[in-house]
Chains A and B, each alone.
Chain A
């Protein structure tokens, strides 16, 4: 018994440095942020009241939610397809695919956003192509609007969906599907009844990862949205750096944090989060 305790406290010792670091550089500033949000410009919950009264804030939250949801759905569906392919091709092809995915992952978000502008703009490659093959007579508005923002965000987020789903799919033994097929299930039934449910943890962790990441986006919307797609983090930046309304900025930051926690809590009611994050 004592030996177990000893071992446990030794583990704690190992965790301590990281924990301390987090407390000093993460938890403490976070508390400061919370503090400012209820003390500036005057003590009270005045800043938070704006969440309910300001039509502009409603609009921004709605834009943020809409874009993040759309991005998440598209990313996870596309990501699943790629991950599925990766889990079923030969080792060499898989390596090549992985390399391509990581390559885009390492490119700066700025470069990717501008690359998309080049492709999507009115006289860009895609519009030129569409007009050349006669699909459209005049250029479509593909960038400087929400469409462009979602394209850019999905592209940015794809590796974040592919990697966890792929890790999950790799762990599913092919013999399950074979067994289902052997027992008379059609390919479709085997996929929907056996394979897909087994890949649920991967899908859920990808969904959460992508959604939470998306909430904090502001560069891609700023560039591909032509300045007209304002999401919550952009507004926080403005309140913090430009208008110096720190009470408002910290209130929004805190709300964003709670929004993320809320998402986790809701998801946690349906699935075992520890499993999703690979803690078990």
Chain B
């Protein structure tokens, strides 16, 4: 079953655009690659990091389409430096503890691939590194296993990020970033973001609604604890208020580019990219945790995975170890998912860790449960918001 057949000739030239960094986990690998090139991290750290985020890529091409042998767990991430990093962080400890072999496959577990695999009953992956959005879509399609919380420890994650069909593997945030030079004042929150009179200039927001509709609700005057349930029509109409001044970002590097070229004065972007901007722009660009939306990266298990459901769950449980997660954080910037890791994070890095209690307190946690709920027309809130969000963008 071919899921990505380049049928129209145009794709011959266009296929690369949406490739690499559209998902947060792909973006992390891209960032690590850049840091390696600048010599900010050494190769070992880089590979370690890649391994940690489940993205053993270049090396991982070797392990591509790995077919699971008996006693082997295939973990799929987004390739690049993440392949080695995941192996070192999560793979090796698991091998030591269980005697099972871990193979990191950097192919990239796109939702469409997982669905095609499960429906063709030809599943070669055991554990997939996806996002909250993908998890919701796959759960709705009925192709991933519920997480077995007798094996995976619910107490080692934030309660919001223990989904029925997926569990958090690391955390990242959608935050308000701004250029101090091109704004007369510093925007403090999303109401300022929406205030075109006092803060004129273009803004950037993401193509997908997750993390964006939350900021719409806060701009509409809801408090952090009242963001959910999101009033979708209200969120959309808030977006339309400023739409003419919004440029849409698709990939993490694109959001960074918009700031670098000073095409925008502020934006709702990933905190990892905002960090890079603060550094690269000589402090011109800064950002705040205030009213950010902290979101989970997710582990998924496809139905009918070769190693068996239990082994996949055991791997996930093993990767809940805080020290392993901190290693990943150091190299790739994705915050540890286990709250127990927070006090162990080196002090000079705490400002960038979305999971530090003081940072968490300023943010709203992404609420997967709400997204999973029925909107009332047979579609989930997630499906409806994706459609309406895209519709609102189209001019």
List the interface of chain A (C-beta within 8 A of B): 29-30, 32, 56, 59-60, 63, 108-110, 113, 121-123, 144-146, 156, 213, 215-220, 222-223, 226-230, 233, 235, 237-238, 240-246, 253, 256
Write out the residue numbers on chain A whose beta carbons fall within 8 Å of the beta carbon of B231.
Answer: none
Write out the residue numbers on chain B whose beta carbons fall within 8 Å of the beta carbon of A215.
Answer: 8
15 contacts between A and B (CB under 8 A): A30-B7, A32-B1, A63-B394, A108-B16, A216-B8, A218-B14, A218-B17, A219-B14, A219-B18, A220-B14, A227-B247, A229-B394, A244-B111, A244-B137, A244-B141
| Residue B395 at the chain A interface, CB threshold 8 Å | yes
Find out whether the CB atom of A244 lies under 8 angstroms from the CB atom of B394. no
Residues B1-37 near A (CB distance < 8 A): 1-3, 5, 7-11, 13-14, 16-18
Q: Which residue of A lies closest to B263 (CB)?
A: A121
Write out the residue numbers on chain B whose beta carbons fall within 8 Å of the beta carbon of A56.
Answer: 387, 391, 394
Write out the residue numbers on chain A whose beta carbons fall within 8 Å of the beta carbon of B141.
Answer: 244
Find out whether the CB atom of B248 lies under 8 angstroms from the CB atom of A227. yes
Q: Which residue of A lies closest to B11 (CB)?
A: A216
| Residue B207 at the chain A interface, CB threshold 8 Å | yes
Residues B336-395 near A (CB distance < 8 A): 383, 386-387, 390-391, 393-395
Find out whether the CB atom of B110 lies under 8 angstroms from the CB atom of A241. yes
Q: Of A109, A145, A228, which contacts B394 at CB under 8 A?
A: A228
Extra contacts besides A218-B14, A218-B17, A233-B8 (12): CB < 8 Å: A56-B394, A213-B10, A216-B8, A216-B10, A219-B17, A220-B14, A228-B395, A241-B112, A242-B137, A243-B387, A244-B138, A245-B383
Q: A213-B10, A227-B249 are in contact. Are A240 and B112 (CB under 8 A)?
A: yes
List the interface of chain B (C-beta within 8 A of A): 1-3, 5, 7-11, 13-14, 16-18, 110-112, 115, 133, 137-138, 140-141, 207-208, 243, 246-250, 261-263, 383, 386-387, 390-391, 393-395
The docked-state distance in angstroms from the alpha carbon of A63 to that of B393 is: 13
Find out whether the CB atom of B10 lies under 8 angstroms from the CB atom of A244. no
The docked-state distance in angstroms from the alpha carbon of A110 to that of B393 is: 21
Find out whether the CB atom of B115 lies under 8 angstroms from the CB atom of A108. no
Write out the residue numbers on chain A whose beta carbons fall within 8 Å of the beta carbon of B262.
Answer: 123
Write out the residue numbers on chain A whose beta carbons fall within 8 Å of the beta carbon of B133.
Answer: 242
CB distance from A121 to the nearest CB of B (A): 6
Find out whether the CB atom of A29 lies under 8 angstroms from the CB atom of B5. yes
Q: Which residue of B lies closest to A106 (CB)?
A: B13
> Looking at chain A's contact residues, is the secondary structure mostly helix, strand, loop, or mixed?
helix
CB distance from B114 to the nearest CB of A (A): 9
CB distance from B241 to the nearest CB of A (A): 15
Write out the residue numbers on chain A whose beta carbons fall within 8 Å of the beta carbon of B1.
Answer: 32
The docked-state distance in angstroms from the alpha carbon of A141 to that of B208 is: 25
The docked-state distance in angstroms from the alpha carbon of A245 to that of B140 is: 10
The docked-state distance in angstroms from the alpha carbon of A145 to that of B208 is: 19
The docked-state distance in angstroms from the alpha carbon of A246 to that of B7 is: 16
Find out whether the CB atom of A238 lies under 8 angstroms from the CB atom of B10. no
Find out whether the CB atom of B115 lies under 8 angstroms from the CB atom of A110. no
Among B3, B9, B14, B140, which residue has the most Cβ atoms of chain A within 10 A? B14
9 closest cross-chain pairs (CB), A and B: A227-B248, A216-B8, A216-B10, A219-B14, A230-B394, A109-B13, A219-B17, A226-B247, A228-B395
The docked-state distance in angstroms from the alpha carbon of A32 to that of B248 is: 34
Find out whether the CB atom of A216 lies under 8 angstroms from the CB atom of B9. yes
Write out the residue numbers on chain B whose beta carbons fall within 8 Å of the beta carbon of A32.
Answer: 1
The docked-state distance in angstroms from the alpha carbon of A245 to that of B207 is: 18
The docked-state distance in angstroms from the alpha carbon of A14 to that of B393 is: 51
Write out the residue numbers on chain A whose beta carbons fall within 8 Å of the beta carbon of B110.
Answer: 241
Write out the residue numbers on chain B whose beta carbons fall within 8 Å of the beta carbon of A233.
Answer: 8, 10
Find out whether the CB atom of B383 lies under 8 angstroms from the CB atom of A237. no
Find out whether the CB atom of B394 lies under 8 angstroms from the CB atom of A60. yes
Q: A56-B387, A244-B115 are in contact. Are A229 and B17 (CB under 8 A)?
A: no
Find out whether the CB atom of B247 lies under 8 angstroms from the CB atom of A242. no
Write out the residue numbers on chain B whose beta carbons fall within 8 Å of the beta carbon of A146.
Answer: 395
Q: A213-B10, A217-B14 are in contact. Are A229 and B386 (CB under 8 A)?
A: no
CB distance from B288 to the nearest CB of A (A): 24
Find out whether the CB atom of A122 lies under 8 angstroms from the CB atom of B263. yes
Find out whether the CB atom of A223 lies under 8 angstroms from the CB atom of B17. yes
Find out whether the CB atom of B14 lies under 8 angstroms from the CB atom of A230. no
The docked-state distance in angstroms from the alpha carbon of A222 to that of B207 is: 10
Find out whether the CB atom of A110 lies under 8 angstroms from the CB atom of B17. yes
Find out whether the CB atom of A237 lies under 8 angstroms from the CB atom of B115. no
Write out the residue numbers on chain A whose beta carbons fall within 8 Å of the beta carbon of B208.
Answer: 242
Find out whether the CB atom of B393 lies under 8 angstroms from the CB atom of A213. no
The docked-state distance in angstroms from the alpha carbon of A216 to that of B12 is: 11
Find out whether the CB atom of A217 lies under 8 angstroms from the CB atom of B10. yes
Write out the residue numbers on chain A whose beta carbons fall within 8 Å of the beta carbon of B250.
Answer: 222, 227
Write out the residue numbers on chain A whose beta carbons fall within 8 Å of the beta carbon of B138.
Answer: 244
The docked-state distance in angstroms from the alpha carbon of A60 to that of B383 is: 18
Q: Which residue of B lies closest to A228 (CB)?
A: B395
The docked-state distance in angstroms from the alpha carbon of A241 to that of B390 is: 14
Write out the residue numbers on chain B whose beta carbons fall within 8 Å of the beta carbon of A243.
Answer: 137, 383, 386-387
Write out the residue numbers on chain B whose beta carbons fall within 8 Å of the beta carbon of A216.
Answer: 8-11
Write out the residue numbers on chain B whose beta carbons fall within 8 Å of the beta carbon of A123.
Answer: 261-262
The docked-state distance in angstroms from the alpha carbon of A241 to that of B248 is: 19
Find out whether the CB atom of B395 lies under 8 angstroms from the CB atom of A229. yes
Write out the residue numbers on chain A whose beta carbons fall within 8 Å of the beta carbon of B18.
Answer: 219, 222, 237
The docked-state distance in angstroms from the alpha carbon of A108 to that of B16 is: 9
CB distance from B208 to the nearest CB of A (A): 7
Q: Which residue of A lies closest to B140 (CB)?
A: A244
CB distance from A118 to the nearest CB of B (A): 8
The docked-state distance in angstroms from the alpha carbon of A242 to that of B138 is: 10
